[in-house]
Amino acid sequence: MKQLLGIHHVTAITSDIKKNYEFFTEVLGMRLIKKSINQDDIQTYHTFYGDDRGTPGSGLTFFDFKGISQVVHGRDEISRIGLRVPTDEALEYFIKRFDKYGVKHGEVFDLFNSKTLYFNDFDGQQYALISDEKDLLWQSYGIPWKNGPVPNEYAIRGLGTIFLVVSDYALMDAILTNVMQFKSIEKKGALGLYEMNNGGNGARVIVEENKVYPQAYQGYGGVHHVAFRLENKEELFKWEDFFRSKRIANSGYVDRFYFESVYVRMYRNILFELATDEPGFIDDQESYEKLGTDLALPPKFREHKKQIENLIKPFDTSDSNRIRQTISNMQNYLKTMTILFRTQQSVLAYAMEDIKTYDLNFTEFSALEVLYKKGTIPVQSICDVVLIANSSMTYVLDKLEKRGLIKRYKGKTDKRIILVKLTDEGQKITDEIMPKHYAFMGNLFEVLDVKENEVLQTLLKKVGYYAEEKVGN
């Protein structure tokens, strides 16, 4: 029988599944991996949040039991949920983020050699952000949500230390060390640190001894249970046999489809689960791209999906995979737009310096340039290139025609089409001025080498074509 690998998931209770969804995806930047049901109570949602792929050890899940009262925090409970971030700097980022969203939080402090930040959600659920700066074992474990609102360098990677408050410390110590095979690492005052397997922030439990607090009572804003990781079903069965050999009451094998479990309660009000890393949340019903968008059910419930949907409150997560831009990204895009507009204005002003020497305005010059390049074409084609209305173009062409530079005439096959071409004088003038103008404009782009110019063209076309598609839709 192998040791537990670390924390698998924590399941908590919320008063409002929709507000909970908004808090985790918009504020904390965790991905909705599954919107499912409590398999033991199909009238209750069971939502799963995690990293980009729902990596084992990143799962924080919620029930929304109907009619349940608010938690009473106290002794003999799973009191606080730890979430790992990669660096100490990430804690400072989240302080600013919490202030922006009105999230209650404390100050950063050192807890068993890890910088830690306590905070609460709208239900009063208690959390801790824990920095992996000094924990190289777990620092890179977990994949930031690709579409999340938090920059990758600060994003939550997964679950961290789980906190217990107990009145009988000796009993919990015996459970963790003698039964669950944790190692007792350190004791500081009322706090004891325990670790699984190779230890580190993703495999820690902190136990607080407290006989003064009132008895805790489970409700929304509290934790339902914590699950610890096992590699596969084979190891799960070994642990089940172990519990049986110790005469420890347990649930026996339970197939949750996304993982397989055994539940055991050895201390009042505190429920432990052992859960397998396999098979995972990307399954036959939802691909990576579709995770969380619809009600996902294990096979045994799927034929009853319509009935189940009638039992639970409607909860739309069809937008679960939309890109939630970071503030920094949005600021960067706005900066790009500003640069683009200013560049356009500067280039236009530079071009006008040359164009006005030919006693032409910009639109007149543009119309001549189109005819110089394309020859005889309909009026509408000039409008499409120059980007002005047909009525405005008529005024422009009138002026050019009076100067003897262009000629308009009706099409031979379709008299409704007005064609435009350069006159001999117009051709003579454009043959003279266009090469000069191109040389003048070319001087502007000498600041770019050939490769940079090609990249600029490609990027501008990419943005332009995408904008056209969006306008068309």
Residue 135 lies in a domain: yes
135/228 same-domain check? yes
55/188 same-domain check? yes
78/216 same-domain check? yes
256 burial via Cβ count (<10 Å: 0-12, 13-18, 19+): middle
55/97 same-domain check? yes
* Domain termination site, one of 303, 324, 345: 324
194/341 same-domain check? no
457/351 same-domain check? yes
* Domain termination site, one of 308, 324, 340: 324
Percentage of the chain exceeding pLDDT 70: 97
CA angle 228, 252, 48 (to 5 degrees): 40
Residue 360 lies in a domain: yes
344/295 same-domain check? no
386/253 same-domain check? no
Residue 1 lies in a domain: no
Between CA 216 and CA 163 the distance in angstroms is: 14
Residue 146 lies in a domain: yes
Q: Which residue has the tokens 């599944």?
A: 17
Burial of 402-427, coded b for 16+ CB within 10 Å and e otherwise, reads eeebbbeeeeeeeeeeebbebeeebb
Average pLDDT for residues 4-21, to the nearest whole number? 96
Residue 129 lies in a domain: yes
- Residue 218 belongs to domain with CATH number: 3.10.180.10
Residue 325: which pLDDT band, with cuts at 50, 70 and 90?
low
Domain of 443, in residue numbers: 328-472
Spatial CA neighbour of 192 closest among 216, 178, 179, 210: 210
Residue 172 lies in a domain: yes
Residue 115 lies in a domain: yes
Whether residue 420 contacts residue 397, with contact meaning beta carbons closer than 8 Å, is answered with yes
Q: What is the pLDDT of residue 472?
A: 59
The tens digit of pLDDT for each residue in 85-138 reads 999 999 999 999 999 999 999 999 999 999 999 999 999 999 999 999 999 889
Q: Which two tokens stand for residue 225?
A: 């249970």
CA angle 293, 295, 300 (to 5 degrees): 140
Residue 441 has pLDDT above 90, yes or no: no
Between CA 196 and CA 201 the distance in angstroms is: 10
Quote the pTM value.
0.71
* Domain termination site, one of 302, 324, 346: 324
Between CA 81 and CA 200 the distance in angstroms is: 15
433/315 same-domain check? no
Q: Give SS3 for 150.
A: coil
Residue 18 lies in a domain: yes
254/390 same-domain check? no
Q: What is the pLDDT of residue 323?
A: 81
203/57 same-domain check? yes
Average pLDDT for residues 440-465, to the nearest whole number? 85
Mean pLDDT, the chain, rounded, equals 92
Q: Give SS3 for 444.
A: helix
Between CA 63 and CA 224 the distance in angstroms is: 9
42/138 same-domain check? yes
The tens digit of pLDDT for each residue in 190-228 reads 999 999 999 999 999 999 999 999 999 999 999 999 999
Q: Into how many domains does the chain fold? A: 2
φ/ψ (deg, to 5) at 222? -125, 170
- Residue 358 belongs to domain with CATH number: 1.10.10.10
Q: What are the helix and strand counts (H, E) for the chain?
A: 13, 19
